[in-house]
Amino acid sequence: MQQRIEGPGNLLNADGTLAQRGYATRPVLTYNRENIKAPAWKIKEWDFYQVSNDDYCVQLTIGHVSYAGEVSIRFFEFESGYRVDFSHMLLLPFGSLNMPRSKAAISRTGRSRWRWRSG
């Protein structure tokens, strides 16, 4: 049986292992990237958000698998099957998206950023 994580804490221990196993119903753990014990090219980071009801769904994704990344927005209308996708692939982002340490504090301290640069 999994344990419910209620209070704040770090996601990883100093040695890079998972600090606690379980689940949370809201963002309570702090992502501490500096404790990941892997080469930079093996680190995968992403944020995914979904807001939906019985009629519509909006999904937002920003993330990378070190050597490639994606910024995307998707909108669905379930009844009609209408769908709009905006997706931009990123080449060699290697952590440049500045993923926030804490989703709980995202409105105060964390910001994932990406800027469209046409060339």
- Distance (Å, rounded) from C-alpha 6 to C-alpha 28? 7
Q: Could you tell me the residue range of the domain that residue 14 belongs to?
A: 1-37
Bigger pLDDT: 10 or 43?
Answer: 10
In terms of domains, do 20 and 49 share one? no
**pLDDT per residue over 66-86, tens digit each?**
778 888 999 999 999 999 999
Residues 43 and 91 both lie in one domain: yes
Q: What is the pLDDT of residue 81?
A: 96
* pLDDT score for 83: 96
pLDDT of residue 111: 54
- Whole-number pLDDT of residue 17: 93
